[in-house]
Amino acid sequence: MTHIFTNARLINPETQTDKLGWLRVSNGKITETGAGDAPESGIDCNGKCLAPGIVDIGVKVSEPGERHKESFRSAGLAAAAGGVTTMVTRPDTMPAIDTPEVLEFVTRRANEDAPVRVRPMSALTRERQGREMVEIGFMLDAGAAAFTDCDNVVADNRVLSRCMTYARSLGALVIGHPQDPGLSKGGAATSGGFASLRGLPSVSPMAERMGLDRDLALVEMTNVRYHADQITSARSLPPLARAKANGLDVTAGISIHHLTLNELDVGDFRTFFKVKPPLRSEDDRLAMVQAVADGTIDIISSMHTPQDEESKRLPFEEAASGAVALETLLPAALRLYHAGALTLPQLFRAMSLNPSQRLGLNTGSLTKGAPADLVLFDPDAPFVLDRFKLHSKSKNTPFDGARMQGKVLGTWVGGRSVFPVNT
Amino acid sequence: MTFRQKHLLGIEPLHPDEIRSILDLADKYADQNRLPVQNEKVLAGLTQVNMFFENSTRTLASFELAGKRLGATVMNMAMQASSIKKGETLVDTALTLNAMHPDLLVVRHPHSGAVNLLAEKVNCAVLNAGDGRHEHPTQALLDALTIRREKGRLHRLSVAICGDIAHSRVARSNIHLLGKMENRIRLIAPPTLIPAGAANWGVEVFDDMAEGLKGVDVVMMLRLQKERMDGAFIPSTREYYHRFGLDAAKLAHAKDDAIVMHPGPMNRGVEIDGTLADDIHRSVIQEQVEMGVAVRMAAMELLARNLQVDQPKGVMA
């Protein structure tokens, strides 16, 4: 099976180019690309953008345990509609994904129901309790993409050092949530004038820097491959840059919310804006956008976290954290493009190429031989987001009613169209 | 007279003219409350429900009396004891109550923002009687009325707010109110009890009583809220009293006619010297309680007026 995309604005994160051209796909792989007019007619992209599909690290699909919040079916449809071709799912389910048996269940459910690729991550410690490491070897054999206890920080340094040492021997990637557990306890907002006026329990961004410093020290000790799931404050950037300069195998991510929203968006206690870590100051946000541009921050992800209405319709400090974002990741990221802060190739380096490379996948580029995981989008098409039109079962998006620009026109996984559903 | 609010959720949303409107009306009620016969009927036929999710004696009594003096039907619901224990959420409780068509809902809750959330879900007017560390608007209004009556004005005064500011909704509401009315505000507390970012609120921050109290017109003491503290913020209450408790020696740094205020309940010997608290020449603590009833009468009357314009009773908005 061969088809050709013509008259497309090819966004290539590897060459950092954004040029009109064509792209040929056969047997699920990209076989040829070229500039200018295509040699034959095919799918006319009308000059819209064709980019490698997004590889989203840290998607919460609430299976097993809370399928009413999100299933592989609903998350997969949301991903396809959002241009996400690989969901790297989180293990903070109920029960946690901490045995090969649970991992197999998840893999089977994903294969049955999700129209996009799914790469599940494993917990780092049993039940994410921070006491005993999971069977890292078995989990790798069963297909675990990485190891993380998500927002449960492994507080015991000895436990974490052993996990890292063991993971190092198998070449496994450990993902940390840099946060000092003592300092950040109970924090629902970033400390500062705004949180204090609202009377919310708050946490200093320094808790993130302390968590990162601790993790980096252990990385230096164990030489493990390490990724910080979310670096969201300016104070964390110097140690991160230093660790990279010193040759540690370290990368860092950030959620799209921390790049496009700030603490003031919480307004009068709007719980859809409660995420973990909490939204930061505008100064921090600007510093993080710059860090993505210069590559200090490697990866942008959705941190898709479905929550039902009940768990959000509570007083702010009691409400659950997290936001759904598979479908809003691209249009929100395009705000940074329209604002002139990042180019499209820079955005797709952070959303497709880097996450793919970090996990050792071969997707995320438009290079010959790569799987034809593609997203076609119109970066300019304006719309007003209606949360009830999202494919996710949970509708907890901070962008409800927001004016956005950028619509996904089509998504392909391995050359097969997964969005829109009927073409 | 200007008052356009549907709810009284905090001081932050109020315009200075709205604050003046409440205080002017409250002034009238304060005088009227001293007369032997009370037969005001402006809230006759309206139902006031006091929903307290947190212990309270004085605020609850004050709201109850205010409603009764204006002729409202008043019902008290002690929420710690009821449905919350059975697992009902705040919003469900609110909807249940809403179905009974109250006109005025007075709410106190231990979490910041809970009253805002509740106000979104009901049709009646909601009065915040204190939510977490967020706001306690009627307390700030009664403090303002007390100051205005004592000092003859509510602007260009220097006011020191001392003590546990971090955990105090009273402090936040007062900072909003006194700031809106163009007063100088000083916060005096050990650094652990000064909330992060307070220096950006347009206030001066001190950690020394002698320095902070220099030349102020009003000294507002706050209660050390041990029940809201998660761990230790100060080494001991005796060290706290020594450094931050208000006594005659520290008060001597303020103006000679400076008044002493406290929202109550007081911890004598912790944040304030007992003799000083009882000194009728300096302490206006009893007046604050008296003004509390008047201010709550005024706030409820103004909200009730807007209620009648907006929505006839029993009709869903």
The tens digit of pLDDT for each residue in A169-202 reads 999 999 999 999 999 998 999 999 999 999 999 9
Minimum Cα–Cα distance from A193: chain B residue: B197
pLDDT at B97: 87
pLDDT at B315: 45
Q: Is the CB of A16 inside 8 Å of chain B's CB atoms? A: no
State the pLDDT confidence band at B232, using cuts at 50, 70 and 90.
confident
How open is the CA angle A292-A155-A272, to the nearest 5 degrees?
Answer: 50
pLDDT at A249: 97
Residue A15 domain-assigned (yes or no): no
- Which CATH number belongs to the domain containing residue A149 in this structure? 3.20.20.140
Q: Collect all residues of chain A within an 8 Å Cβ-Cβ radius of residue B201.
A: 193, 197
Minimum Cα–Cα distance from B114: chain A residue: A315
State the pLDDT confidence band at A336, using cuts at 50, 70 and 90.
very high
Q: What is the mean pLDDT of chain A?
A: 95
Task: Please indicate whether, in this complex, the C-beta atoms of A195 and B172 are within 8 angstroms of each other.
Answer: no
State the pLDDT confidence band at B317, using cuts at 50, 70 and 90.
very low
Query: Chain B: which residues have CB within 8 Å of chain A?
Result: 12, 89-91, 109, 111-114, 116-117, 131-135, 166, 169, 172, 195-198, 200-201, 230
Task: Please indicate whether, in this complex, the C-beta atoms of B196 and A314 are within 8 angstroms of each other.
Answer: no
Alpha-carbon gap, residue A258 to B120, rounded angstroms = 27
Q: What is the mean pLDDT of chain B?
A: 91
Residue A170 domain-assigned (yes or no): yes
A 10 A CB-CB count for B313 gives 13
Q: How distant is the Cα of B133 from the closest Cα of chain A, in angstroms? A: 4
Residue A291 domain-assigned (yes or no): yes
Q: Is the pLDDT of residue B230 over 80?
A: no
User: Exposed (0-12), middle (13-18) or buried (19+): which is A250, by Cβ within 10 Å?
Assistant: buried
Alpha-carbon gap, residue A45 to A57, rounded angstroms = 28
How open is the CA angle B226-B232-B233, to the nearest 5 degrees?
Answer: 85
Long-range contacts for A290-295 (Cβ within 8 Å, ≥24 apart)? A290/A341, A291/A231, A291/A237, A291/A254, A292/A254, A292/A259, A292/A336, A292/A342, A292/A346, A292/A350, A293/A341, A293/A342, A293/A346
Determine the 3-state secondary structure of B296 from DSSP: helix
* Ramachandran bin of B203, using left for φ above 0, alpha for ψ from -120 to 50, beta for the remaining angles: beta
Q: Collect all residues of chain B within an 8 Å Cβ-Cβ radius of residue A284.
A: none
Residue A298 domain-assigned (yes or no): yes
Q: Is the CB of A318 inside 8 Å of chain B's CB atoms? A: yes
Number of structural domains, chain A?
1
Alpha-carbon gap, residue A279 to A141, rounded angstroms = 37
Q: Collect all residues of chain A within an 8 Å Cβ-Cβ radius of residue B89.
A: 310, 313-314
Of the candidates A186, A269, A313, the beta carbon closest to that of B230 is on A186
Of the candidates B116, B166, B195, the beta carbon closest to that of A269 is on B116
State the pLDDT confidence band at B87, using cuts at 50, 70 and 90.
low
Residue with the larger pLDDT of the pair A139 and B90: A139
Tell me: the pLDDT tens digits for A150-161? 999 999 999 999
Q: Collect all residues of chain B within an 8 Å Cβ-Cβ radius of residue A194.
A: 197
Q: How distant is the Cα of A371 from the closest Cα of chain B, in angstroms? A: 48
Of the candidates B131, B172, B230, the beta carbon closest to that of A197 is on B172
Q: Is the pLDDT of residue A205 over 90?
A: yes
Average pLDDT score over residue span B266-271: 92
Residue A39 domain-assigned (yes or no): no
Alpha-carbon gap, residue B262 to B266, rounded angstroms = 7
Task: Please indicate whether, in this complex, the C-beta atoms of B230 and A316 are within 8 angstroms of each other.
Answer: no
pLDDT at A39: 87
Q: Is the pLDDT of residue B39 over 90?
A: no
Average pLDDT score over residue span B251-264: 96
Task: Please indicate whether, in this complex, the C-beta atoms of B135 and A196 are within 8 angstroms of each other.
Answer: no
Tell me: the pLDDT tens digits for A33-48? 999 888 888 999 999 9
Tell me: the pLDDT tens digits for A264-297? 999 999 999 999 999 999 999 999 999 999 999 9
Task: Please indicate whether, in this complex, the C-beta atoms of B112 and A268 are within 8 angstroms of each other.
Answer: no
Q: Is the CB of A344 inside 8 Å of chain B's CB atoms? A: no
How open is the CA angle A120-A125-A126, to the nearest 5 degrees?
Answer: 90
Tell me: the pLDDT tens digits for A394-423? 999 999 999 999 999 999 999 999 999 764
Task: Please indicate whether, in this complex, the C-beta atoms of B196 and A202 are within 8 angstroms of each other.
Answer: yes
Tell me: the pLDDT tens digits for B132-174? 999 999 999 999 999 999 999 999 999 999 999 999 999 999 9
Residue A24 domain-assigned (yes or no): no
Q: How distant is the Cα of A64 from the closest Cα of chain B, in angstroms? A: 25
Residue pair A85/A116 in contact (Cβ under 8 Å)? The answer is yes
State the pLDDT confidence band at B82, using cuts at 50, 70 and 90.
low
Residue A1 domain-assigned (yes or no): no
Q: What is the ipTM of this complex?
A: 0.87
Residue A409 domain-assigned (yes or no): no
pLDDT at A338: 97
Average pLDDT score over residue span A26-35: 94
User: Could you tell me the residue range of the domain that residue A195 belongs to?
Assistant: 53-365
Task: Please indicate whether, in this complex, the C-beta atoms of B89 and A186 are within 8 angstroms of each other.
Answer: no
Tell me: the pLDDT tens digits for B102-137? 999 999 999 999 999 999 999 999 999 999 999 999
